[in-house]
Amino acid sequence: MVIQEVQQFAESRTRARAYLCYLFSRNIPSHLPNPNIAEIKKSLNKIVNEVDDFEALYILDDKGMQVTNNITNKKSREGGKEKNRSSKSYFYRSVEEKRCVLTDPYPSALTNELTVTASYPIYNDKNELRYVVCIDISLKDIVKIAQPSSLQSIFGNFTKITYSLFSFALLAIAFLLFFNSIANLMTHSFFSAIRDIDMMFKSTILLTLSLAIFDLVKTIFEEEVLGKNKKDEAHDIHKTMVRFLGSIVIALAIEALMLVFKFAITDPENMLSAIYLILGVSALLISLAIYVKMVSVKK
């Protein structure tokens, strides 16, 4: 469940940040002539009335020291005044970036559950940092707040179902190609199979195509259905593309080689067709090499 919530948060993080930062900016101007704690606390009380599920609201000074007790709806979460928060990412990130920020999930000292914090810097009329306002919300509650609309959810489920159906259909084709290749080999004795070069080439082509389709199905199912997050998604997409196209090029190269042998023995007049296929495979191989080179340069 926690893994799913982290994944949902990653998908809806932009909406969550936009919502919390909008609450701050609507109730508290980022620049005030003479910011004071009393006025800021009044504004925070307005936010309390708009957000039902939150852990705490509090104010830090320009050094990261908490200057108010936690504003919370539970007595057990009160306190916190005069605690040094300068080492917390929600403080130094908002100070460094000079804007409202939203942290990654981290274990909360108040609830021992995963929590995110939105922080909002406040400056005076001389553009000097005076305070940083923070709100803590549990991971499960921020996911609820930022979850997509019912229409988006329905479309998302429809997309996953569609990708699942295509994945299973392609997987069935991959297995059919695989079993067809094995069946071709099994219908011959061991020694006759070795002598039948044409049949061996065909089986190799079928196996190569089967592997290419299976690799494509694996990528589609993991990314579109399971929503697997990868550390370097762009790199993985390029890697999958190269593997898939490489398998196709290998299959075509084998087919061209088979035609060369076949026409050389039985029909030399059609050798030109095999040469055309070889030239096409060479063009594909050169294009793939250029693609790989361009991708490596961009990294």
Looking at the chain, the whole-number percentage of residues with pLDDT higher than 90 is: 26
Q: Check residue 231 and give its pLDDT.
A: 45
User: What kind and span of H or E run contains 26?
Assistant: helix 2-27
- 159 or 238, greater pLDDT: 159
Report pLDDT digits (tens) over 82-110. 999 999 999 999 999 999 999 999 998 88
Contacts of 9 (CB under 8 A, 6+ apart): 16, 105, 116, 139, 142, 143, 146
- The domain defined by 2-146 folds into Beta-Lactamase (3.30.450)
Contacts of 286 (CB under 8 A, 6+ apart): none
**Domain locations along the chain:** 2-146, 150-298
Query: Confidence class of residue 202 from pLDDT cuts 50, 70 and 90?
Result: confident
Cα-to-chain-centroid distance, residue 255 = 38
Residues written for the chain: 299
Q: What is the pTM of this model?
A: 0.53
Instruction: Point out the least confidently predicted range of 36-50, 114-128, 197-211.
Output: 197-211
What does the angle CA 76 – CA 71 – CA 59 come to, to the nearest 5 degrees? 125
Helices (H) and strands (E) in the chain, counts: 9, 5
Distance CA 38, CA 28 (A): 12
Which token pair is 74?
A: 């539970």
Instruction: Point out the least confidently predicted range of 17-21, 70-74, 196-200, 257-261.
Output: 196-200
Strands 56-61 and 129-138: antiparallel
Q: How much is the mean pLDDT over the chain?
A: 81
Would you say residue 163 has pLDDT above 50? Answer: yes
Strands 101-102 and 56-61: unpaired
Q: Check residue 232 and give its pLDDT.
A: 47
Query: Confidence class of residue 189 from pLDDT cuts 50, 70 and 90?
Result: low
